[in-house]
Amino acid sequence: MTREEHLLTAMVEAVDTLVDDFDLIDFLHQLCDRCNALLDVSAVGVMLADPSGRLHLIAASDEHTRLLELFALQTNQGPCVECHRNGTAHLNIDLSSPAQTAAFPRFAARARQENFTTTHALPMRLRQQVVGALNLFDTRAQQLSDTDARVAQALADVATIAILQHRTLVHANIERAQLKAALSSRIVIEQAKGILAERWNTDFDTAFDALRRHARAHQMPLTQLCRQVTDGILDTTAIQRP
């Protein structure tokens, strides 16, 4: 594939994330492959932040890179950590330069042990929201050109949009599931109220108050109690009538 075809494929893959069964892990591993092909780097890693802001390694192009990225997380230092922290790109870092690696000497030493000589970290960011960092490593002492830097940031931006879209879909699905569960619970509660109101020859408010009091007294969810009433599991004479 030509460079343009690789880039177009990466964009199409991002569009394909707009579905319910989107596999985030597979997508980010594909992102690593695209970066390797487009940017001619030796290794790639992707870190994402959880809702509390803590970084996690999600994908890496190989095992050595995975272990290096985990080391960065354990020591809380490295270009990727700095990139996520300040939301700016850190490019063309010479891992043998004390001046360029002063903020992360332990990471630089570990990276050199893996034969990496140069690294780059780009923020995965949409406006002011930084969701993670894209990390590039090279065993050769070559810099990332301005064009390649723009391509790398474009890939990071596209991946960010896909990730945020995925989170929106997941959140929407959770909300729909919660609403469905709430509606189902409401039906069960109404049925239990009707059963008690009929047996006691009283109004629905009195029956509902009795159900709530019984649930609280026995430290059980109201819906669970009502389901036991409707399923005939609970003897309603055990419920104290107000």
Q: Domain extents for the chain?
A: 3-172, 174-238
DSSP letter at 184 equals H
Residue 176 has a pLDDT of 73
Closest CA to 79 of 114, 106, 60: 106
* Type and span of the H or E element at 11: helix 3-15
Q: Reply yes or no on domain 174-238 having CATH 1.10.620.20.
A: no
Residue 7 has a pLDDT of 67
Q: Reply yes or no on domain 3-172 having CATH 3.40.50.300.
A: no
Residue 163 has a pLDDT of 81
pLDDT tens readout for residues 131-176: 999 999 999 988 999 989 998 998 898 888 888 877 776 676 666 7
pLDDT tens readout for residues 57-84: 888 989 899 999 999 999 999 999 999 9
The amino acid present at 69, given as its one-letter code, is: E
**Secondary-structure breakdown of the chain: helix, strand, coil percentages, each rounded to the nearest 5:** 60, 15, 25
Percent of the chain past pLDDT 90, that is, above it, reads 45
CA distances from 218 to 139, 186, 201 (A): 65, 20, 24
Q: How confident is the model at residue 18 (pLDDT cuts 50, 70, 90)?
A: low
Burial 173-205 (b: 16+ CB within 10 A, else e): eeeeeeeeeeeebeebbeebbebbbeeeeeeee
* Type and span of the H or E element at 124: strand 118-126
C-beta of residue 59 within 8 angstroms of C-beta of residue 25: yes
